[in-house]
Amino acid sequence: MALHFHPLRVASVERDTEDAVVVRFDAPADGSFAFEPGQYLTLRTELGGQEVRRSYSLCS
């Protein structure tokens, strides 16, 4: 199964605890980003010319 990444815009970032933040995204309202709590999402970006990927747990 090939990986496919979708562009997402960060809507907000809130400090939850000293070690955790809550990141909210502007996701399409068409249901294409439906999820179950506990699933993971892998985000990627480029930092310093290198691709960086991080996995995050999803919650509602």
In sequence order, what DSSP letters do the residues of the chain get, joined into one string?
--------EEEEEEEEETTEEEEEEE--TTSTT---TT-EEEEEEEETTEEEEEEEE---
Rounded CA gap, 1 and 19, in Å? 33
Residue 3 has pLDDT above 90, yes or no: no
Q: What is the mean pLDDT of residues 17-22?
A: 91
Q: Over 70: is that where the pLDDT of 23 sits?
A: yes
pLDDT at residue 1 greater than cutoff 70: no
> 43-56, pLDDT tens digit by residue?
999 999 999 999 98
CA distances to 2, 29, 32, 48, 55 from 26, rounded to whole Å, are: 24, 9, 12, 25, 18
* Whole-prediction pTM: 0.66
The pLDDT > 90 percentage for the chain reads 35
